[in-house]
Structure 1
Amino acid sequence: MQSTQSDGLAAKILLVDDQTSSLLLLRELLHNLATLYFATNGPHALELARQHRPELIVLDIEMPGMDGFAVCRALKADPITSDIAIVFMTSHIDIEHEITSLSEGGIDFLRKPLHAVSSRIRIKNLLDLSRYSRQVVAEKEWLKVTLDSIGDAVIATDLDGKISFMNPIAERMTGWLAREVLGRPIEEVMQLRDAHTLEPHWNPIYFALKEQRVVAMALNCQLVSRSGQLFQVEDSAAPIIDRNGQCHGSIVVFHDVSESMALALKMSHLANHDPLTNLPNRVLLYDRIEQALKRAEQLHHKSALLLIDLDNFKYINDSIGHNLGDLLIKHVSERLSSICAAGTTLARLGGDEFVLVLQELWSVEEVSLFASQVHSQFQQAFVWEDKKYQMTVSIGVSIFPDDAQTIEMLMRHADVAMFKAKSEGRNRTSFFSEELEQHMIHRHQLELLLRDTLANQQLQVHYQPKLCLKTGKLLGAEALARLKNQQGHWVSPVEFIPLAEETGLITELGLQVLRRACKECLSWRQLGFQVPVSVNIAAPQFANPQLVRQILNLLTELQLPASMLELEVTESALMLDVSKTQNILSQLKAAGICISIDDFGTGYSSLSYLKKFQVDVLKIDKSFVHEMLTDKGDMEIVKAVISLAQSMNLQLVAEGIELEAQTHKLLELGCQVGQGFFYSKPLSAKDFKAYLQQKTTA
């Protein structure tokens, strides 16, 4: 008999009877309930059942060859068909057949001849029940697959905390198999303890069951597996409550956070430590200082902050390379660490700066002794690949509560003291004082004034005449930077020029002086005065690869002849890079610019290098001229410089002439050109023009 397909019906029923008339009757009764399949013997029934897996099989008991009971046993023995609901039917009316049918696995029993209406209703109800049962099984399987597939461990319990389910992740973490733990108390399988105290933890499912709410697992919770393996775990437990509010048990979901906690600890370490030296960084340092200050306050002790800076490390780093520089920094940190007691904090602020925090001090002498220990660590050179690197440190010290009461003040005062140590010659320790702070405040205000002046192009330039000592003829003028404060008072160049060099403002200052001096020289020419102007070039300017281009562009822009410009460069600037110096000087000379060595005799140039440099003028420093008449040593230096210039056919200019006797002596020795207060102080642009007019009429 052919199967009957019913459109839109997902359910399937297999009808098995050796009598065709019974099958026809059943087809008539059930054709619009499900898709129907027919078999007239046992083997065919088994084949169709495996092929189509119907929700329901209506099975006749008495069939030749293989009766209904044998077919039922075969179906239940096969995993593919074991869940199919079976309804037996027979013409026997004795109770034994009904009992046997139900015992073999049937869910109902129909008697022949079939009553059409009741049989249809019963089969429909049984079909619905079978479909629902399959749906429940499918949902349960889907839920199990889902719980087995998620990355978290899941354990379910009954109301007494005995395990009813455990997924594979939970198996792996606890070391127990799911089949072994069913019915066991959860605390036996899921052993929890505090990671710090190692005390046992009560499982959170008991809180969840007791309080009927979601309960988070305690922090720092550790799971001890069956084999003793430890897992850092976190997550939560919750009661299992149905739609009617009835609690049926609990479920705990947890996961291994050992790696993430290790990563978090590593990230925390990186955030608080210097990656190169592994010392505390600024963030952790501030916390350590705060603790030290609180403890000092409670115990009525002192604390000290030592700011340590490696002297001239930038030059070492630039010359040997940053990789080797980093290695030296690591060796420095190791040497400093070797003298630190347990309560001492050593931190690296970055670059070549370190900080030491000393706690529980009774006197300042203790700090001095410790600072001496720090200096002693640098007496022995650092050796790398058979090369020695000698380093020293400058240390600034600030004491709590004597010098400062806050972390910021302590750090700032230590920085002020360290700067003083640097300015006094390096390789020493300086303690903070009120006078020192006032000096630094003045310095800071001066820096702000200088920056503001340069930003607003308000720097002034004065001009000191250079004259022939014999005739008094004006031969040129030196441009000198001048700075006024907010009160209209002049700031000494001795103050602001070194500050400009320290802060990196000297390059901008030099460019502004150069531009203003060239413009002023051009204005003199337009008035008919051919007076060359000389401009000082600081060492950082001279090291600037754009210097030559900047100067030549300026001359071109102003249409000022190069012969009207003289550049004064110090010996130390010329000696920074000899080959580079030769290249720059040759370019400037080729353009027609005059070059002079300023303050000659105060630097360290050798005669061999001086011969290679294409210079035109040597300027005798005013420090020698000032005492030449009373100090034999200064007189001998002046004589030597004049003799050297004459032998090299160089022009000479003496600076700082203040007495007529100095003029006579310089002329006697062979110096023909000079400048100084004896002839004229540096003049403003306006006053210098008046001076020019006066010299002309005279």
Structure 2
Amino acid sequence: MEEELFLFAPDETPPKSDGQLPPWKVLSVEDDATYQASLSHALNGYMVKSRPIEMLTAPSATAAAELLATEDDLSVVLLDVVMEDDDAGLRLIDTIRQVLGDNALRIVLLTGQPGMAPFNDVMKRYDIDEYWNKADLSSEKLRTVVASNIRTWNAYNELDKARRGLNLLVEASKQLSRVTNIEDFCRILLNEIGQLIGMTRGGIICARSGNDASLDDLQIVSSAGVFALDNHDGAPMLKQFPDELQTLLKPLLTRAITDKQHHFSDRFSVLYFDTDKNKAHRYIIIVESEAPLSQYHINLLQVFSENVHNGFNNIVLCNRLSELAYFDPQLHIPNRAWLTRHLDNLPASERYHSVLVALNIKEFEELVLSVASPFLDGFLQQFHRKLQQRFRSQRVIARVSGSCFIVLLDSADLPSTSMMARLNHFKIVTDNIQLHAEVNVALMPLCELTAISGRELLHMMDSTLLQSQREHQLLTHYHPQYLSSILERHQLMQGLNNAIEQGRLVLMFQPKVRLSDGQVVGLEALARWRETDGSYISPAKFVPVAEMSGLINKLDLHVLHLTVSAIKQLLKAGFPMPISFNVTSSDLDDLFFMDELDSICSKEPQLLQWLEIEITESQTMQDYQHVKPLLQNLINKGIKVSIDDFGTGYSSLQHVTKLSATHLKIDKSFIDALAEEWGGEPIVDLVVRLGKRFHYAVIAEGIENASQVQALKALGCEFGQGYWFAKPMELPALLTYLTHITKGTDGHQK
């Protein structure tokens, strides 16, 4: 090898080591015992970076391989090229690099035969760091070569250790990020700290207390190693240590809490954390290690502590979010989301023996409007206590809506029939005021519903309660047909939406006639759902579904467009007459519906005189003060307004002098009762007189025979519609009908 341009200056001989720093391990593989001894002698007592060299020797490549497999932290190998055979040294190098996977170990080849020097490609292939001829290697140069390679190995090793430490930090942080409760968080935290510092013996314990609590209030959250407890359950931390250890730890704990910082000593380290959220809790982690932590481990812990601090804050945030998501804010009891999740996680065997009891407070909305918030809170708290008293064996009581509570209990603990009957009435005393709360109760055994999701279970319970309210039943039992009814309504809803989109929702038209001469004076448009096979689905089935599902506005908007189209075709055919179609009060509040109607008014004002809407009396009177100006606005634009089913409710009589309407339609039930002695005649007579007195056109619905026509004419009713004149028909048939009657027919169908 060429003469080196420079050599590393040897390390200055430092003061004698205090024995705390471990030696550098150098391995000499040499079959010449004399030369082996000279190498050991040259390096004996030599210090590199204040650490001595420990010389290990092996007489052959085979012996060296065995030693390499058991020794850690070898930094340099001085390797004779030729030993038991010519390529023994190269095979050993291959073992180091390929089998043991050690790419950091520095390999220096030595040979006493210049002709045995390896080629450059061999040096690269086997990752050999240096090559020296034994004859050229003086003691001084040997020390320089070994020192330089130790420095290189140490730098590489520190980088690798930093990389591995970073990987440990990343993995430890990942583990912590997956946890949302404090006990699991602390347990994983202690395990990860043990991994970071390579703890093989010793212990870690985590405790918490309030921010202003004393050391004696620190309660154990988790423990590991020699501190591990089978059941800590919030035990006081300091009492788990013997008195002498308490004496040692108290000053360290006090400093950490006072400074709010980590503190490291020879044997114990104290890590301090608090939470940003009001600093309600502080956490203390005590780490006992067999030997003092190195600066490397301290650095790792300090970096990791940043993630731990964030983790504690995330736990607090998650707990708060969980509280908001799963607990009622007024009563701090489980809510609908909590109960849904609980039912989903309930084993099928346990669910089989469970029952849900729902209690819905009647007229709760009126109570909310009539009392102050503190009073309402007190009322709800008292109601919840009453439920706890009446269901002492309950598993959980959840508030699933403002007025509804659900109790989950074992079917064996279900109260008796007599006790269930008393659940409909509660006496609640709040602020010395006694209230009587009436309650609808629904009962749902889960024995046949083990495969239904929690969300669907609560949905079916809602349906059961709604059924009890509609039927005015105080106690309702869930029946399996409720589920089939829900599925049927859902299928109807989907089918109706598809029918609208695909143009299978069509209009049929029923004529309105003048009773005196049978002349057709108008038409009512009736929506019909035509199936692909030509059959029709009754509006009595799909209209209620449309109203419940929110499809009614889309349905009525579609009917509006079809009605306008029919008016145009009738005008073109020479039959100018108004067409009425049904709307709901929700249509009048629907922006899309009203915008479309306004657009028609502005773009085609000539059609307005032929456009008429019908709205039921019940919907008009439901919120009359709100609906009245909306209807009047339509009348002002030239659109006629009919009050359908007039007379079925008497609430409209007080407003009859100022109804926002142009027509009143007498309900079919009164027309059917005309032949009865004390039937519909008085009502029909009253409505006809009111119409004449206040200038409303009056139309009788559902006329089916000639006697009804004669009775209506005798009472002075001018207009009517029904099967006696014509059944509803589609537009082509209507045009044929209108053409036919204009040529002199008797004006009715039989």
Once the two structures are superposed, the pairs formed by residues 80-479 of structure 1 within 5 Å of their partners are: 194-196=232-234, 201=240, 233-234=284-285, 236-240=287-291, 269-286=323-340, 288-289=342-343, 296=350, 302-310=353-361, 333=384, 335-361=386-412, 366=415, 368-369=417-418, 371-377=420-426, 392-404=438-450, 406=452, 408=454, 410-425=457-472, 428-479=474-525
Q: Radius of gyration: which is bigger?
A: 1
Q: CA deviation at 1:553?
A: 1.8
3-state SS, counterpart of residue 703 of structure 2? coil
Q: 1:522 aligns with which of 547, 568, 585?
A: 568
Closer, same or farther in 2 for the Cα pair 1:659/1:267, shift >3 Å? closer
2:707 to 631, 638, 661: 661
**1:465–1:361 CA distance, 2 compared to 1 (3 A):** same
2: distance between equivalents of 1:445 and 1:437?
A: 12
**Matched residue, 1:575:** 621
- Note closer, same or farther for the CA distance 1:295–1:403 as it changes in structure 2 (3 Å cut): closer
**Which position in structure 2 is the counterpart of 1:501?**
547
| 1:646-685 equivalent positions in 2, closer than 5 A | 646-685=692-731
Residue 646 (structure 2) pairs with residue 565 (structure 1): no
C-alpha contact (below 8 Å) 2:601/2:637 kept by paired residues = no
Alpha-carbon distance between aligned partners in 1 of 2:375 and 2:530, rounded to the nearest angstrom: 45
* Distance in 2 separating the partners of 1:308 and 1:628: 45
Alpha-carbon offset, residue 192 of structure 1: 13
Q: Distance in 2 between matches of 1:367 and 1:289?
A: 24
Residue by residue over 1:591-639, the C-alpha shift from the partner in whole angstroms, topping out at 9 and shown as x without a partner, is 1222221100112334341211242211100111122213623222222
* Distance change in 2, residues 1:535/1:286 (3 Å): closer
- Equivalent residue runs for 1:526-675 within 5 Å: 526-544=572-590, 549-630=595-676, 632-675=678-721
SS in 2 for 1:465: strand
Report how far residue 555 of structure 1 moved: 3.2
Comparing 635-644 with 652-661, greater Cα deviation is found at 635-644
Cα drift, residue 270 of structure 1: 4.5
The CA distance in 1 between the partners of 2:701 and 2:381, in whole Å, is 49
User: Structure 2 CA distance, aligned partners of 1:197 and 1:648?
Assistant: 85
Query: Following superposition of structure 1 onto structure 2, how do residues 22-33 of structure 1 map, counting pairs within 5 Å?
Result: none
Q: In 2 relative to 1, CA 480–497 (structure 1 residues): closer, same or farther, beyond 3 Å?
A: same
**1:628 partner SS:** helix
Residue by residue over 1:338-388, the C-alpha shift from the partner in whole angstroms, topping out at 9 and shown as x without a partner, is 53314342112345443211224277xx475554343212xx6898999x9
Q: Give the residue type in structure 1 aligned to 2:335.
A: N
Output the CA distance in 1 between the equivalents of 2:561 and 2:659: 25
Whole-angstrom distance in 1 between the partners of 2:491 and 2:374: 38
Whole-Å separation in 2 of the counterparts to 1:516 and 1:396: 44
Q: Report the Cα distance in structure 2 between the residues aligned to 1:273 and 1:516, rounded to whole angstroms.
A: 49
Q: Secondary structure at the match of 2:650?
A: coil
Q: 1:406 to 1:654 in 2, by over 3 A?
A: closer
* Equivalent-residue separation in structure 2 for 1:477 and 1:323 (angstroms): 57
Q: Cα 1:316–1:592, aligned 2, differ >3 Å: closer, same or farther?
A: farther
- Offset at 1:662? 0.7
User: Any conservation in 1 of the 2:361–2:403 contact (CA below 8 Å)?
Assistant: yes
Partners of 1:234 and 1:367 in 2: CA distance:
54
For 2:372 and 2:632, how far apart are their aligned partners in 1?
30
CA distance in 1, matches of 2:526, 2:372: 38
Give the match for residue 166 of structure 1. none
Letter of the 2:405 partner, please give it. Answer: F
How far does residue 333 in structure 1 lie from its aligned partner after superposition?
4.4
Q: Which residue identity is paired with 1:278?
A: H
- Quick one: distance in 1 between partners of 2:645 and 2:605? 30
2:558 to 512, 526, 549: 512
CA pair 268-554 structure 1, distance change in 2 beyond 3 A:
closer
Question: CA offset at residue 466 of structure 1?
Answer: 0.4
Aligned partner of 1:495: which letter? K
Structure 2 Cα separation of the partners of residues 494 and 531 of structure 1:
27
| Number of aligned positions between the proteins | 485
Match of 1:97 in 2: none
Question: Letter of the aligned partner of 1:537 in structure 2?
Answer: V
TM-score, normalised via structure 2 length:
0.55
Between 1:436-445 and 1:401-410, the stretch displaced more is 401-410
In structure 1, distance between residues paired with 2:547 and 2:373:
24
Cα deviations by residue, 1:115-171 (Å, 9 ceiling, x for unpaired): xxxxxxxxxxxxxxxxxxxxxxxxxxxxxxxxxxxxxxx9xxxx999xxxxxxxxxx
Kindly tell me: are residues 272 and 596 of structure 1, through their superposed partners in 2, closer, same or farther at Cα, counting changes over 3 Å?
A: closer
Tell me the SS of whatever aligns to 2:680: helix
Distance 1:174 1:661, change over 3 A: closer
Over 3 Å counting, the alpha-carbon distance change for 1:470 and 1:400 in structure 2 is: same
Q: Aligned partners of 2:738 and 2:435: how far apart in 1?
A: 56
Question: Could you tell me how far apart the structure 2 residues matched to 1:479 and 1:311 are?
Answer: 39
Decide whether the 8 Å contact of 1:398 with 1:404 is kept in 2: no
The alignment yields a C-alpha RMSD, in angstroms, of: 4.7
Residue 275 of structure 1, CA deviation: 1.9
Tell whether the 8 Å contact from 2:703 to 2:720 is kept in structure 1 after alignment. Answer: yes
Once the two structures are superposed, residues 438-478 of structure 1 have per-residue CA deviations (whole angstroms, 9 ceiling, x without a partner) of: 22222221122122233445421111100112211110000
Deviation at 1:174, TM superposition (A): 5.4
Q: Tell me the TM-score normalized by structure 1.
A: 0.59
Which one-letter code corresponds to 2:669 in the other structure?
S
Q: Which runs of 5+ in 2 are unaligned?
A: 1-192, 194-199, 203-212, 217-225, 246-266, 270-280, 295-301, 745-750
Cα pair 2:644 2:667 within 8 Å, conserved: yes
Q: Does structure 2 retain, via aligned residues, the 8 Å contact 1:518–1:560?
A: no
Aligned to 1:347, the other structure's residue is in SS state strand
Report the CA distance between 1:416 and its aligned residue. 3.9
| Residue type at the aligned position of 1:453 | A
Q: Can you give the 5+ residue segments of structure 1 that lack an aligned partner in the other structure?
A: 1-153, 162-171, 176-186, 207-214, 218-229, 244-250
* 453 and 546 in structure 1: CA distance in 2 versus 1, 3 angstrom threshold: closer
- Counterpart mapping for 1:40-51 below 5 A: none
SS at match of 2:679: helix
Q: Distance in 1 between matches of 2:654 and 2:345?
A: 60
The share of aligned pairs that are identical, in percent, is 24
Counterpart CA distance in 2 for 1:296 and 1:464 is 58
